[in-house]
A and B are shown apart, each in its own frame.
Chain A
Amino acid sequence: MALPQAKQDATEARLSAVTLPQGAGWLMQLREAAIARVREMGLPTARDEYWKFTKPDTLVQADAPEAALFDEGEAPIFDRIDRLKVVFVDGVFDAEASDDLSLEGLSIERLSDVAQADIHWAKELYGSLEERGQDPVHRPLAALNTALAEDGVVIHVTGKVSKPVNLIYHHKSTSSDAILHHVIKLDAGADLTVLENGPAAARFNKVMEVDVADGAAFHHVRTQGRDHERRAATHIFARVGKESAFKTFTLTANGVLTRNECVVEMVGDNGVAHVAGACVGDGDFHHDDTVFVTHDAQNCESRQVFKKVLRNGAKGIFQGKILVKPDAQKTDGYQISQSLLLDGDSEFNAKPELEIYADDVACSHGSTSGAIDEDALYYLRARGVPKAIATDMLTLSFLAEAVEEIENEGLRDEITERLEGWLERRRG
């Protein structure tokens, strides 16, 4: 179907401003195919159904809007965790700040190095899950990423890895426009945890493709911090094999525009996929979680758990879908999205969707929006807890259901501590 003229013009205008990064033949082919996908789909506009609640213009336009640098006075999260650090500054790998990239059970390479190799295993994966994820809903910013990303990590996990890989981002230029593309392949029985944190750039377009083979486990915990003026469009594409697990959690605090998409395809029986997020927004804050989980195998379990705390006119969006294909019998699907509106100015929009073609499934979903429970607040105050602290306690308890999706207790505590800090700094 031909694109509307306005969309086609906007897309061509944007593409005319880009040049494909150079690389080996296999990668150039993939980049060109991705550009072709972008042309075919067109870049998002405010009129697209999938962008009804989030204006894509600043994510699409040629130049990144400026974003003030964020004072990193506070010690970065995960500092107390034993992990392998991989550092990017404004979207460029920083070898000096990173650890030696060797760890038993995996190999890590830079995308920019891989791009020069004549032949590489990543050829089979780079852009392939992104391409699969374009159907039935287009995600053109992810295809644009596949075409343009010059850096990122390419990780092959062959066994159980003893400590997490921590992708750490730094934002040092007010006009940086970072595009990173990570590819992670887990072999059968492999096990890896990836952590991500730090302000990445003024504008950040990131794709992470994760292929979880049979019996493997992938855990992901990410924080998007207090770099308030950031604009980010991130995508996770995961393919989950037989008896394997994929679990991702994101904490988002502040940010004028964040769109996190997570696209999960369950292709092997007895798999588990958990996608969770807690977000806290104050003032000029816009956060969009867009999730799509496809069940294409039997007896799989998926959970989507999203909690948003919004105040002073902050805006939260949740678009979540569970698609159960005809043969995906015994699917157990769960989806909950809830917002806690701390005042009358804040806003939450939710679009929960279930599309089920199998007949023997258990799927449930719910979405609520509400204020602090007055009875609980009175109860706490009647015991002597001051109103501001009582409000924070109830806010944390509201977020807890999402935070509890993180399996590792140490990581869970780190996240809770950050949330407490965020609330404390705002205590009236």
Chain B
Amino acid sequence: MKLAARLKPFNTPLTLVAAVLAIALLTQLLDISLLTRIVTVMFVSLMLVLGLQLYMGNSGILNFAHIGFMGIGAYTAVIFSMTPEAKLLTNSDLYPFLVPLHLPFLPSLLIGGLVAAALASIVSYPLMRLSDAAAVITSFALLVIIHVVLLHWDRVSNGPRTLFGVDNYTTLWVSVAFAVITIFAVYLFKESSIGLRLRASRDDRYAAASIGINMVVMRWLAFMTSAFIAGVGGGLWAHFITSFKPYAFYLSETFVVLAMLVIGGPYSVSGAVVGTLVVTAAREVLRGIENQVNILQLFPEGFFGFTEVVLSIVLILILVYRPTGIMGGRELHWPRRRQARSAETNQPENNIS
């Protein structure tokens, strides 16, 4: 009884973690290699979507730069985790001082996250004063800048060419572990005083400022944490996919992560989880159809883009009919309890007309 009472505040993250573990166990038991791959990528995506939710959900500001920080984390982690020989094999132009660096997997991931967070903290502090359209354009500008730098800084990223030879460390259970940690971290952030103050400033910036909340600092802390999660997620993804190029961290990936969060519901942690699961499942089905049509060669020019077309239509429909996503700002509970929709979790009023 005492334990149950203690766990009560953690009902939501425990429910979500239980769902994640159940999926992982099922995948392990079925032991189909394609399914294992899909689920592993899904948990890495989950980490990225949760990181995005941490900033977007609490601050109410759209962030396009998230995937850019994923890219920074991926390239950094890979530089540390690869052996000097493997590095020179894939990129002989690498700066000489980067060649001898060699660390185990976990420290490499951590450094990837830290580098992403450090860059985010430097770049973003002045940007946190901007809201609405200006904030969106600057975050988009940040994504473009990171992309251009990754694309042309041959001596670090191997330029537009594919970087290969990364060791495959990200197994199913590694991705599960990181997903579980991230669920707790993002939930705790939401419930922390920082998260609360950030949401207060999201809902009414003047009222929040009048009680001494420094909105810029709160946004900054959230942005940094979010970039750290993206960086670690990028490292995880890199050690799963094992070869990649800068285009992996650009608009199409941004679209997928954004679609997951918005379809699930950006204003709750459960929304991020539900969105990732639903969109991953939908994408795999759609991609299966796409591949089948291509195998049958029904179209002379090939059948490409079907998945994205359907996904973007669904995204628009969700925004039209249920702009707060599937979860509508609520969190999951087990056992289910009727929860009054509080004003706090709902989206801030921001009418244009």
Chains A and B form a bound pair = no
Chain B residues with a Cβ under 8 A of chain A: none
